[in-house]
Structure 1
Amino acid sequence: MSTQFTVGGHRWRLKYCPNGVDKGTADYIGIYLILDETVAKSVKAQYQFRFADEVVEDPVKLDEKDSFDSHRGWGYSMFLTREELEGSEHLKNDSFAVRCDIILINEFRTEDTPQSFVEVPPSDMHQHLADLLQTGRGADVVFNVGGTMFTAHRWMLAARSPVFNAELFGMMKESDNGRVVHIHDLKPRVFKALLFFIYTDMFPDMTEEEDDDATMAQHLLVAADRYGMERLKLISEEKLCKYIDVDSVATILTLAEQHHHGS
């Protein structure tokens, strides 16, 4: 039996029978291709044996077609007689090499698939909510952040942050609708970025802002911790990991420790 080899995702071996397979083939050399694995159903393949040093001018045509079952194979019980082999030019130093060409036959099955006549575009909900934030339509709460005023929607803030939910619908009553909420622990540009994430679930684009991604990520990590927004925390941490270097490592590690994300 030859060593195992792989063709078409299946494992195979060649079996060499120097004295045939029974009394009737005792004067012949037999050779077989064995499927050396367990399969659920038969593997269909074409195969052909020839001497490895045999010169073939035209491409080899594989005519044999058989179904190979688990640990069983197909081949020739009378590949050639021992006498023919001994007188053959292929026998050199009492040895010869056999080549086996294999082609796997895939069975394709056609199935009826429903044809779609309507192309559904990706969701653009974040764009609509961003427009809602920018225009302030229906806004019912005003924030004063360092002298900069921001309008927003209580229901959106409460849905996205447990802290906003408690502050806007717990401690404050419905009669406080006209009250301005003062934010003292965030800079205006950071609160603006926080609102953008609340409405769109996206990290703000810093290309047009004075802060870069790393700086804003540090500020938003603090804001996310303040308002209980775990997803924003993780996004900010991920961005900060990309910018850790000798100059920033101390600051970033201090932030992580302060907000309970030290490693």
Structure 2
Amino acid sequence: MAEHYKISAALVAEERSYMLKLDGYSRTKALVKTGECVSSAPFSVGGHRWAVIYYLNSIVCALYLVLDPAGAKDVKAKLTISVLDKNGEPVPSFSCTIPTHTFSRGVQHCVYSVSRADLEGSVHLRDDCLTVRCDVTVTEEICNEETKVPPSDLHCHLGDLLKNKDAADLTIQVGGQSFSAHRCVLAARSPVFKAELLGAMKENSGTPIEICDMEANVFKSLLHFIYTDKLPPVLESASNNGAGQLAMAGHLLVAADRYDIGRLKLICEEKLCNQIDSKMVATSLALAEQHGFHDLKEACLKFLAAPSNLEAMMASDGFEHLKSSCPTALKELIARILPPEQKAAKDLVMAI
């Protein structure tokens, strides 16, 4: 399934400094009534028009930044206000910075305030003149939308690489059939293949590699998983859910264990655990005992704890194979189904 992501990126559109110089500070203050304001000339930053509105005739002198009401969108901006000294440098004690803030059009946003007494008593009000610098940085969101990202198709590309044999540098012979593969892919997916193909045991690159004790269709399924990280169709098909599928799962489990492909091993073992029946349980138990598949062994023993399942298993074709190949598994089974009070009998069985 495709995933949805909200992609949002911000771009600094423009940074600009605006100088607000109040010549005749006292005269301006005398002309403005308490509560009234004075507006600066408009200026442009980031494609938007702004103005500074200031109140002088109050206990607190306050400056407001106003965005031109024309237009539909709000604007994000960062602002630094500084009173300048005689050298034109910002005075730290009379400066402040407003972090990125959303300015709504036509709304007065207070960005600076200072005690009028402190301001008028400072040396920075020189010759009845005050200079304030406004550094405005406007940011614009260049992308803010939800997009649908398609699911990963890496397995398709690697599957095509296997199917088309493009740049294959390895030939493997299994059960009388030859398979073309890529040394680096096998090494990346299996530590055993890595040791054989790239390590001290590195195979001669010009000589076909022969794998014994494995059927060709099993190795083909193993390659399919190595390249695509997906089960072969024979194990994925819901219509093919019988003994043939379970047999393939068992063979593939052994192959995954042989080449230390952990994810495939877990998948195959879980499939066998979930599909235990009286016909296949003896075969599965023998497989688990011979290769040390603990979870599969436990699932089989629990299934056989029911008398009816045990009787059906003993009548199956796999029982004779279990007796001859895995007598220890049968002894453990007998010890488990004996009542707890028969501990001596259990010990005797395990000692035989």
Instruction: Report the counterpart of residue 141 of structure 1 in structure 2.
Output: 170
**1:223 and 2:255 equivalent?**
yes
SS, match of residue 241 in structure 1: helix
Instruction: Report the counterpart of residue 183 of structure 1 in structure 2.
Output: 211
Distance 1:199 1:211, change over 3 A: farther
- Does structure 2 retain, via aligned residues, the 8 Å contact 1:213–1:239? no
**1:249 and 2:286 equivalent?**
no
Q: What is the aligned-residue RMSD (CA, Å)?
A: 2.4
SS, match of residue 170 in structure 1: coil
Give TM-score, length-normalised by structure 1: 0.53
SS, match of residue 222 in structure 2: helix
**TM-superposed deviation, 1:195:** 0.2
One-letter amino acid matched to 1:143 = I
Mapped to 2, the partners of 1:137 and 1:250 lie a distance apart of 43
**1:128 and 2:157 equivalent?**
yes
Instruction: Report the counterpart of residue 203 of structure 1 in structure 2.
Output: 231
SS, match of residue 179 in structure 2: strand
Which structure shows the bigger proportion of residues in strand conformation?
Answer: 2
One-letter amino acid matched to 1:150 = F
**1:213 and 2:213 equivalent?**
no
Write out aligned runs for 1:1-263 (5 A): 114-116=144-146, 118-173=147-202, 176-206=204-234, 207=237, 212-262=244-294, 263=298
Matched residues, number: 150
Distance 1:136 1:211, change over 3 A: farther
Mapped to 1, the partners of 2:264 and 2:244 lie a distance apart of 17
**TM-superposed deviation, 1:171:** 4.0
Give TM-score, length-normalised by structure 2: 0.40
User: Structure 2: which 5+ residue stretches go unaligned?
Assistant: 1-142, 299-352
CA deviation map 1:179-221 (0-9, x unaligned): 1000111100000000000011111111599984312110001
Instruction: Report the counterpart of residue 349 of structure 2 in structure 1.
Output: none
Instruction: Report the counterpart of residue 16 of structure 2 in structure 1.
Output: none
CA deviation map 1:141-197 (0-9, x unaligned): 1001111000100111011111100111124548x2111000111100000000000
**TM-superposed deviation, 1:131:** 0.6
**TM-superposed deviation, 1:242:** 2.4
Distance 1:172 1:140, change over 3 A: farther
One-letter amino acid matched to 1:180 = P
Mapped to 2, the partners of 1:191 and 1:185 lie a distance apart of 10
SS, match of residue 115 in structure 1: strand
Distance 1:171 1:138, change over 3 A: same
CA deviation map 1:48-83 (0-9, x unaligned): xxxxxxxxxxxxxxxxxxxxxxxxxxxxxxxxxxxx
Mapped to 2, the partners of 1:236 and 1:194 lie a distance apart of 11
Mapped to 2, the partners of 1:154 and 1:125 lie a distance apart of 18
Distance 1:211 1:152, change over 3 A: farther
Mapped to 2, the partners of 1:226 and 1:197 lie a distance apart of 14
Distance 1:137 1:172, change over 3 A: farther
- Does structure 2 retain, via aligned residues, the 8 Å contact 1:143–1:150? yes
SS, match of residue 119 in structure 1: strand
Mapped to 2, the partners of 1:173 and 1:162 lie a distance apart of 13
Structure number with larger C-alpha Rg: 2
Mapped to 1, the partners of 2:256 and 2:289 lie a distance apart of 15
